[in-house]
Amino acid sequence: MDVQMKKGLLDICVLSVLTKGDSYGYQIISDVSRGVAMSESTLYPILKRLESGGALTTYSVAHNGRLRKYYRITDAGRVKISEFLDGWHEMQAIYDFISGKEPEDHDKI
Amino acid sequence: MTKYEYISEVEKNLGGIPYIEKVKMLDFYREMIEDKIESGMSEEEVIAELGDPVLLAARLRDEYRMNNPEQSASPPPNQMPQKRSSGWKALLVIALIIGSPLILAVIVAVASILFGIAIAIIAVGITFVIGAAGVGITGIVLFLTSFLALSGGFYTFLVQLGLSFLLIALCLLLVGVGVGAIQLLMLLIRAVSNAISARKRKAV
């Protein structure tokens, strides 16, 4: 898959994982990897981008004598997810156009 | 290679990335390594999975350059004034923290001085009023009894009458001073309250 496209999709995947509750790096990788393959070197820039874009906030929690960074989705992050879901039909139409398939029109019999 | 050696190897190869960003990156990988070990993997397995530290550092540098095209050449220019302003703010906060007991002490000192002056004026006023009452009563008694002193001779009567007038006059004088003291006190209170309300108005 195109790198840029996958990047954008992975952003949404990470945000989607965070809608189920605050999480930390390793846990996010484990959760996302159930759907899409993702390595830690991919996750780091995604988290950084989402944080600087205001889609998530971070805080640290003491764990086993060290600090663990937790990520929490913001309202802006939730908006990003719903925008992606709303835009999916457009994506489907583009896919249909590219693949040369007749667009599925449910109004037609 | 231990996890510490791995991290320091990555760190060595992160040249060109600002310090704060470098710390964040390394913290992320340190946490990841610890969490993987905690979840049951061995240290060697985790290190092997992360791959060559030099390659990882190169990937991180590339990512950083891609996400910060304007900042990769030179340190971010917008960080300097931001730092300075936050520094000034910190300085102000420190000054306020250090200075606040001093300000409080000065306010308490001024308030206690004003309070002392007020008490002194009240005391003087009360003293004068009581003194005036005493002198006045004595004067009136002397005046009333001066007619009885007629039996002791006309001159005795005259001296007592004169003395009684003198005492009554002194009483009136003392009352005047007492009233003056109270008026002075009122003036002082008014001045202080005016000063406070003026300060408040300025603050608003």
Q: What is the pLDDT along chain B (204 residues), one digit of tens a residue?
A: 888 999 999 999 998 889 999 999 999 999 999 999 999 999 999 999 888 999 999 988 888 888 777 654 554 444 444 455 667 777 877 777 777 777 778 888 888 988 898 888 888 888 888 888 888 888 888 888 887 877 878 888 888 888 888 988 988 888 888 888 888 888 888 888 888 787 777 666
Q: CB–CB of A26 and B67 under 8 A?
A: no
Task: Domain ranges for chain A, please list them.
Answer: 3-99
* Domain locations along chain B: 3-77, 81-203
- β-pair partners for A59: A70
Residue B33's closest chain A neighbor by CA? A26
Separation of alpha carbons A79 and A73, rounded Å: 10
- Going from the C-alpha of B86 to that of each of B90, B97, B129, the distances in angstroms are 6, 16, 62
User: What does the pLDDT read at residue B77?
Assistant: 46
Q: Pairing between strand A23-24 and A66-73?
A: antiparallel
Between the CA atoms of A34, A35, A41 and A44, what dihedral angle is there, to the nearest 10 degrees?
Answer: -100
Query: Taking a contact as any Cβ pair under 8 Å apart, which residues of chain A between 53 and 72 contact chain B?
Result: 64, 66-69
A57 sits in which H/E element: strand A56-63
B107: amino acid identity, one letter: I
Q: Which residue from B31, B39, B63 is facing A25, i.e. has the nearest CB?
A: B31
Q: Report pLDDT for B70.
A: 66
Tens digits of residue pLDDT in B123-141: 888 888 888 888 888 888 8
Residue ranges of alpha helices (H) inside B13-150 are 19-38, 43-50, 53-67, 79-145
> How does pLDDT run across B147-166, given as a tens digit for each residue?
787 787 888 888 888 888 89
Q: Kindly report the CATH number that applies to the domain delimited by A3-99.
A: 1.10.10.10
The one-letter amino acid at A64: N
Collapsing DSSP to helix, strand or coil, B152 comes out as helix
| CB–CB contact B63 A45 (8 Å) | yes
